[in-house]
Amino acid sequence: MRYILVIPSIDIKHGKTVRVVQGIPELGSKEYGSDPVEMARIWRAENAKLLHIVDFDGAHEHNLTNLPIIREICQSVIIPVQFTGGIRSMHDVEAIMDTGISRLAVNTMAIENPELFMKVFEKYGPSKIVIALDIVNEELVMKGRTIKTGIKYKDFAKKMRQIGIERFICTDVMRNGILGGPNLTYSKEVADITDAKVTLSGGIRNKDELMDVQNLMPDKIDSVIVGRALYEKRFPCQKMWRVAESGIF
């Protein structure tokens, strides 16, 4: 039996590990320890197979001040690190890739500057570049989830699949960081219309909801990003259930 891959999220703001409500710092954030590098080591010690890093300073202020932290995380754990947040230019892409991350999740660039995105995608390929679909009421949002685009997520997913994208990260922004339960519909629809791999993000509260996602694995939803519920220890025996088969990355 294959298991759903649980990916701990490490959200970084002002150099610290936080949990930001709906991805928007202005709505409030809660600090979960001051050292993201130490947090990465903890998740690795608890058998995480992949980490998801969100740079909120990059996403909202478009700066690269957290790059040294990202580099240290990559050097401190022997598992792949996935990154998202504030990547707007080829220079940004090259700088973050140089830290040692294994995969970059792109949102704003793909929407706002498709020509540049294609250059990035052609350089690094589908194993390194994935698309983050941040969704509010079926509409994509960008720039740290602060700007509505008027673009329907299903239309954009189809377009990205046509150019060769092989994985999408689907986030229902309204449920993210508030323990509102996952939106299975968005992820399932993306999997159905693209036949690509999908990571569900946002809202997971407990093991029963993980099992709900597990039941969708035949539809290529093979992983979930979990933040607040993990930090608040809402799962029994976390070391036991955080299991994944090799090769899912």
* Domains of the chain with bracketed CATH: 5-241 (3.20.20.70)
Please state, in angstroms and rounded to a whole number, the distance separating the CA atoms of residues 123 and 71: 21
pLDDT of residue 177: 64
Give 10-14 contacts, CB < 8 A, sequence gap 24+. Answer: 10/36, 10/39, 10/40, 10/43, 10/51, 10/52, 10/53, 10/54, 10/73, 11/53, 11/54, 11/56, 11/227, 12/36, 12/53, 12/54, 12/55, 12/56, 12/57, 12/66, 12/69, 13/56, 13/57, 14/57
Overall residue count recorded for the chain in this entry: 249
pLDDT of residue 234: 80
Please state, in angstroms and rounded to a whole number, the distance separating the CA atoms of residues 229 and 178: 9
pLDDT of residue 57: 85
Please state, in angstroms and rounded to a whole number, the distance separating the CA atoms of residues 221 and 218: 7
Give me the phi and psi of 161, to 5 degrees please. -65, -40
Please state, in angstroms and rounded to a whole number, the distance separating the CA atoms of residues 221 and 196: 9
pLDDT of residue 245: 38
Residue 199: both structure tokens together: 């990571």
Please state, in angstroms and rounded to a whole number, the distance separating the CA atoms of residues 91 and 128: 16
pLDDT of residue 178: 65
pLDDT of residue 143: 83
pLDDT of residue 19: 64
Sort strands 29-31 and 16-20 into parallel, antiparallel or unpaired: antiparallel
Candidate list 55, 57, 92, 134, residue with the active-site label:
134
Q: Which residues, at least 6 apart from 126, have a Cβ–Cβ distance to it below 8 Å?
A: 164, 165, 166, 167
Candidate list 11, 57, 172, 222, residue with the active-site label:
11
- Per the annotation, the verdict on 155 as an active-site residue is no
**pLDDT string in tens for the chain (249-residue length):** 678 899 999 999 888 887 654 444 443 444 455 789 999 998 998 889 999 999 988 777 778 889 999 999 999 999 999 999 989 999 999 999 999 999 999 999 999 999 999 999 999 999 999 999 999 999 999 987 789 999 999 999 999 999 999 999 999 988 766 677 899 999 999 999 999 999 999 889 888 888 888 888 877 899 999 988 888 778 765 544 444 434 444
Report yes or no: 200 and 225 within 8 Å, Cβ to Cβ: yes
pLDDT of residue 184: 93
- Per the annotation, the verdict on 11 as an active-site residue is yes
Q: Which of 180, 86, 175, 177 is nearest to 132 (CA)?
A: 86
Please state, in angstroms and rounded to a whole number, the distance separating the CA atoms of residues 149 and 216: 29
CA 152 vs. chain centroid, Å, equals: 19
